[in-house]
Amino acid sequence: MMKSIESKGWLEYESGHAWCESAYKYNTHPLIAEFANTVTNLPIIVLPLVNAMMMRKYIRKVNSGVVWPNLLLAFNGIASTYYHATLNLFGQLVDELSILWILNIFLVVYIPVMQWFPEKHKKNIPLFRWSVIILASFISTLCFFEPNLNALALMTYTIPGSMVVHYEGKHANLPEIANFPRRIFILWGLAISCWFSDRLVCDLWLYLGIPYLHAIFHLLSSVAAYNIFVMFNMIDIEKEIKNTNLRLLFDTFRLKRALFGHCHI
């Protein structure tokens, strides 16, 4: 195991990566290392559970698999809450590994309805799914060798992920989700800008007295992730619901084009 893990206990304070808010004078609660970064995980916990609850009939009667990405995202919110409250290495690794598995399980669940996957290879979907799980397991072991690079490595998923979201949104032929890719890209673009700003120019935010860019990242990324889940749930339902007696109801809270408008199925 690398020196970075050997030299510090997994549960020791700040054995994990500390964010800008952890500067001493911004510790607003004696038992919580990064208060804003901790409490802003609440949407990451709540939104996927709301999504799963709204789709409970579909999950129970048609496709139980769609519940797993939602549960994993909620678990990630809990893991991230623990990580930012303690800043220990154990919390950091659980947080990062849960993100890795969200991405891969999402692919495993929704690959049958993704347009980019060649129709002629649909019969090989079980093999593809097992390949994804094996690869994710291998990558998971690498996360323990140099934890400081894990977050940056996870960010590289943004490129293929954005391509998939754009392609699927464009080819789904569902008017209800036509605006989703644009909304997701704006939210995620703002989110990663906050993430990199907090990580790279922390001194500037400390000087200005606002070291809360990572907390804003949590809020923006949680809304972006929720929109991705709703979008792919719509695609999945459109494909699967034809042989059932269920009916698809899609509602947008506030304006249809609103960036933060709440949508649900």
- DSSP letter string, 149-185: GHHHHHHTTHHHHHHHHHHHHHHS--GGGTTHHHHHH
Evaluate if residue 264 carries a pLDDT over 70. Answer: no
**Alpha-carbon distance 246 to 241, whole Å?**
7
CA dist 147 and 79 (Å) reads: 16
pLDDT by residue (tens digit) across 59-102? Answer: 888 888 999 999 999 999 999 999 999 888 999 999 999 999 99
Whole-number mean pLDDT of the chain?
A: 84
pLDDT higher than threshold 80 for residue 123: yes
Average pLDDT (108-132) is: 89
Architecture label for domain 3-264: Up-down Bundle (1.20)
CA 116 – CA 84 distance, rounded (Å): 37
pLDDT at 21 over 90: no
Binding-site residues for Zn(2+), in ranges, read 84, 214, 218
- What are the boundaries of each domain within the chain? 3-264
Residue 257 has a pLDDT of 47
pLDDT in tens, 124-158: 999 999 999 999 999 999 988 888 889 889 999 99
The binding site for Ca(2+) comprises 19, 21, 34
How many other β-carbons are positioned within 10 Å of the β-carbon of residue 33? 23
Predicted confidence at residue 172, as pLDDT, reads 86
Q: Is the pLDDT of residue 254 over 60?
A: no
Looking at the DSSP assignment, which residues form a beta bridge with residue 263?
Answer: 252
Q: Which residue has the higher pLDDT, 126 or 13?
A: 126
What integer is the mean pLDDT of 240-260? 54
pLDDT-based confidence at residue 1 (cuts at 50, 70, 90): very low
Q: For a pLDDT cut of 90, what percent of the chain falls above it?
A: 48
- 159-168, 176-185, 211-220, 242-251: lowest mean pLDDT where? 242-251
State the binding site.
19, 21, 34, 84, 214, 218
